Amino acid sequence: MNNKKTKFNTWVTGNNFNPRARLRLFCFPYAGGGASLFHAWAKMLPDDVEVCPIQLPGRENRLKESLFTQWPELLQHLKIVLQPMLDKPFAFFGHSMGALISFELARLLRPQYNITHLFVSGCPAPQLRYFKSPIHQLPDAEFIEALQQRYQNIPQAVLQEKEMMALFLHTLRADLTLVETYNYVASEPLDCPISAFGGLQDKTTSRDQLAAWSEQTSNTFTQHMLLGDHFFLKSAKNYLLQLVSQCLQSVNYP
């Protein structure tokens, strides 16, 4: 392995330590996103759930660290740094790129650990090929234009600040390299329940693409469509967390 840090306190952020927790919920952000997205979630989830936001290198408090662009390296690092925290039942939540990461990490861990629940959000099922042309290698101007057309959610403050935009593009290119070079390998379905969430106005993930996640579990599958575009997890956060809470409260764990 290279010189990337593997201390779990740099990977799991927030102040949500909960000694009463019976279950840990690890949360994985979308491309270009950081762990701060999940810092307020603990207040809206059951008291016995410990929220563990995952901070990938190259953003927020890890801005100066090298970014990952290769799946095997990223997944092996995550396996190592999270193992000390898998001493309790756990679930994963991932949005967009985070959904792919959480799914592949669940498959990597299953010989040793059984994930309690997998929540996937704003992401087509992994066995479906992406039909959009890759954009991660485009020149900056074309890259920005493609991002705006696809996601329509780049803050104007970022677009107008050259230094901030340069950092944002560097992180986003690395993350989209992961997304656009993802290669699904067929395997046995997970034996945990999967809940899939989509935005009714999300142009990146259709209802049918989301429903195809049902093929990835031998357990129960539920699908929920929420108001909002690709970033509905912000605009419809309250309803989303109500649904997540209901699932976690129904789990029979020790």
Q: How far apart are CA 202 and CA 54, in angstroms?
A: 24
Q: How far apart are CA 164 and CA 125, in angstroms?
A: 32
CA of residue 71 relative to chain centroid, distance: 14
Residue that has been written with the tokens 């990461």 in this structure: 101
Are 124 and 209 in contact by the 8 Å Cβ rule? The answer is yes
Q: Which of 96, 102, 121, 195 is catalytic?
A: 96
Helix (H/G/I), strand (E/B), else coil: 153: coil
Side chain identity, residue 90: F
Residue among 203, 193, 187 at smallest CA distance from 223: 193
Residue 96 bears catalytic tag: yes
Other C-beta atoms closer than 10 Å to the C-beta of 21 total 19
H helices of 42-193, in order, are 71-82, 97-109, 140-151, 156-160, 162-180
Residues belonging to the chain: 254
Enumerate the active-site residues: 96
